[in-house]
Amino acid sequence: GAVVSQHPSRVICKSGTSVKIECRSLDFQATTMFWYRQFPKKSLMLMATSNEGSKATYEQGVEKDKFLINHASLTLSTLTVTSAHPEDSSFYICSASRESDNEQFFGPGTRLTVL
Protein backbone atom coordinates (compact mmCIF):
# COMPACT_ATOMS: atom_id res chain seq x y z
CA GLY A 1 0.00 0.00 0.00
CA ALA A 2 0.95 3.65 -0.24
CA VAL A 3 2.51 5.00 2.94
CA VAL A 4 2.81 8.59 4.02
CA SER A 5 4.90 9.61 7.00
CA GLN A 6 5.10 12.80 9.00
CA HIS A 7 7.86 14.14 11.17
CA PRO A 8 7.80 15.02 13.94
CA SER A 9 4.76 13.27 15.36
CA ARG A 10 4.63 15.69 18.25
CA VAL A 11 6.29 19.05 18.85
CA ILE A 12 6.15 21.62 21.61
CA CYS A 13 7.56 25.06 20.98
CA LYS A 14 7.64 28.49 22.51
CA SER A 15 5.51 31.32 21.23
CA GLY A 16 7.27 33.28 18.50
CA THR A 17 9.38 30.43 17.18
CA SER A 18 8.93 28.66 13.84
CA VAL A 19 8.22 24.98 13.43
CA LYS A 20 8.72 22.82 10.36
CA ILE A 21 6.68 19.69 9.73
CA GLU A 22 7.70 17.21 7.04
CA CYS A 23 5.42 15.01 5.00
CA ARG A 24 6.92 12.18 2.95
CA SER A 25 5.45 9.65 0.57
CA LEU A 26 7.54 6.56 1.22
CA ASP A 27 6.76 4.25 -1.67
CA PHE A 28 5.19 6.37 -4.37
CA GLN A 29 5.62 9.67 -6.10
CA ALA A 30 3.13 12.23 -4.92
CA THR A 31 2.18 14.70 -7.60
CA THR A 32 -0.04 16.55 -5.16
CA MET A 33 0.15 16.95 -1.40
CA PHE A 34 -2.43 18.43 0.90
CA TRP A 35 -2.18 19.97 4.34
CA TYR A 36 -5.04 19.83 6.81
CA ARG A 37 -5.61 21.19 10.26
CA GLN A 38 -7.80 19.53 12.84
CA PHE A 39 -8.99 20.95 16.15
CA PRO A 40 -10.07 18.60 18.96
CA LYS A 41 -13.32 16.80 18.20
CA LYS A 42 -13.64 18.65 14.91
CA SER A 43 -13.30 17.74 11.28
CA LEU A 44 -10.28 18.14 9.06
CA MET A 45 -10.05 21.52 7.38
CA LEU A 46 -8.02 21.80 4.21
CA MET A 47 -5.35 24.49 4.50
CA ALA A 48 -3.57 24.25 1.19
CA THR A 49 -2.80 22.11 -1.82
CA SER A 50 0.64 21.87 -3.32
CA ASN A 51 1.92 20.44 -6.55
CA GLU A 52 5.55 19.53 -6.89
CA GLY A 53 7.61 22.42 -8.17
CA SER A 54 4.91 25.05 -8.00
CA LYS A 55 3.44 27.40 -5.42
CA ALA A 56 0.85 26.09 -3.03
CA THR A 57 -2.81 27.01 -3.39
CA TYR A 58 -4.19 28.20 -0.07
CA GLU A 59 -7.77 27.92 1.07
CA GLN A 60 -9.67 31.05 1.94
CA GLY A 61 -8.74 32.37 5.36
CA VAL A 62 -5.38 30.60 5.55
CA GLU A 63 -2.44 33.00 5.78
CA LYS A 64 0.19 31.96 3.27
CA ASP A 65 2.88 33.97 5.04
CA LYS A 66 2.04 32.26 8.30
CA PHE A 67 1.92 28.73 6.95
CA LEU A 68 4.74 28.29 4.45
CA ILE A 69 4.46 25.24 2.24
CA ASN A 70 7.22 23.82 0.12
CA HIS A 71 6.89 20.86 -2.21
CA ALA A 72 10.40 20.55 -3.55
CA SER A 73 10.28 16.93 -4.65
CA LEU A 74 7.76 14.25 -5.55
CA THR A 75 8.18 12.64 -2.16
CA LEU A 76 8.50 15.56 0.25
CA SER A 77 6.40 18.52 1.29
CA THR A 78 7.04 20.73 4.29
CA LEU A 79 4.77 22.99 6.29
CA THR A 80 6.45 25.72 8.33
CA VAL A 81 4.40 27.50 10.96
CA THR A 82 6.12 30.85 11.32
CA SER A 83 6.10 32.89 14.51
CA ALA A 84 3.85 30.35 16.16
CA HIS A 85 1.30 31.40 18.76
CA PRO A 86 -0.83 29.34 21.14
CA GLU A 87 -3.81 29.57 18.78
CA ASP A 88 -1.74 27.68 16.19
CA SER A 89 -1.76 24.66 18.47
CA SER A 90 -3.51 21.93 16.55
CA PHE A 91 -3.21 18.56 14.85
CA TYR A 92 -1.70 18.98 11.39
CA ILE A 93 -2.24 16.21 8.87
CA CYS A 94 -0.85 15.85 5.39
CA SER A 95 -1.99 13.66 2.56
CA ALA A 96 -0.52 12.73 -0.77
CA SER A 97 -2.09 11.59 -3.99
CA ARG A 98 -0.74 9.86 -7.04
CA GLU A 99 -1.41 10.92 -10.56
CA SER A 100 -2.91 7.53 -11.36
CA ASP A 101 -5.95 7.63 -9.07
CA ASN A 102 -8.10 9.87 -6.89
CA GLU A 103 -7.20 8.33 -3.58
CA GLN A 104 -5.46 10.43 -0.98
CA PHE A 105 -3.13 8.69 1.45
CA PHE A 106 -2.95 10.35 4.83
CA GLY A 107 -0.04 10.77 7.15
CA PRO A 108 -0.30 9.99 10.87
CA GLY A 109 -0.48 13.66 11.82
CA THR A 110 1.67 16.03 13.87
CA ARG A 111 0.51 17.41 17.19
CA LEU A 112 1.75 20.98 17.60
CA THR A 113 1.58 22.65 20.98
CA VAL A 114 2.66 26.27 21.27
CA LEU A 115 3.32 27.48 24.79
Partner 1 sequence: GESVGLHLPTLSVQEGDNSIINCAYSNSASDYFIWYKQESGKGPQFIIDIRSNMDKRQGQRVTVLLNKTVKHLSLQIAATQPGDSAVYFCAENMGSGGYQKVTFGTGTKLQVIP
CA angle 42, 90, 33 (to 5 degrees): 90
Residue 27 in contact with partner 1, rule: CB under 8 A: no
Residue 35 in contact with partner 1, rule: CB under 8 A: no
3-state secondary structure of 109: coil
Residue 90 in contact with partner 1, rule: CB under 8 A: no
Residue 104 in contact with partner 1, rule: CB under 8 A: yes
CA 106 from chain centre, in angstroms, equals 10
Footprint on this chain of partner 1 (rule: CB under 8 A): 4, 6, 31-32, 34, 41-46, 49, 51, 93, 95, 97, 102-109, 111
